[in-house]
């Protein structure tokens, strides 16, 4: 049985890049319908469509972050200057 999976959207990739660019995460990688961005003190889970960002070590118990934070990370990741 083959599993259909969407690739991360440009928005999701921008959020992950924003987390790295602002120093909140050191690296990111694909993880079962999410992008996982690992930082020194937190793990971020970005949905492949970029609509949700969770923070916590385990996705099942991670807290959903506020829309303003998500928008700021998307802007930081999309802007090469990080503004």
What is the residue-averaged pLDDT of the chain? 90
* Domain covering 10-75, topology: Nuclear Transport Factor 2; Chain: A, (3.10.450)
The answer, yes or no, to whether residue 60 has pLDDT greater than 90, is yes
Q: Are 36 and 43 in contact (CB under 8 A)?
A: yes
User: Which phi and psi (to 5°) does residue 63 adopt?
Assistant: -90, 140
The answer, yes or no, to whether residue 55 has pLDDT greater than 80, is yes
Q: Are 39 and 26 in contact (CB under 8 A)?
A: yes
> Residue 33 carries which DSSP code?
T
| Domain range list for the chain | 10-75
The answer, yes or no, to whether residue 30 has pLDDT greater than 50, is yes
The answer, yes or no, to whether residue 82 has pLDDT greater than 70, is no
pTM: 0.87
- Residue 82 falls in which region: left (phi positive, over 0), alpha (psi -120 to 50) or beta: left
């Amino acid at each position: 049985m083959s599993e259909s999976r969407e690739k991360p959207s440009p928005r999701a990739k921008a959020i992950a890049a924003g987390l790295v660019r602002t120093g909140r995460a050191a690296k990111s990688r694909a993880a079962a319908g999410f992008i996982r961005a690992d930082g020194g003190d937190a793990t971020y889970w970005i949905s492949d469509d970029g609509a949700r960002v969770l923070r916590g070590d385990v996705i099942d118990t991670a807290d959903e972050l506020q829309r303003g934070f998500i928008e700021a990370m998307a802007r930081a990741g999309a802007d090469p200057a990080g503004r």
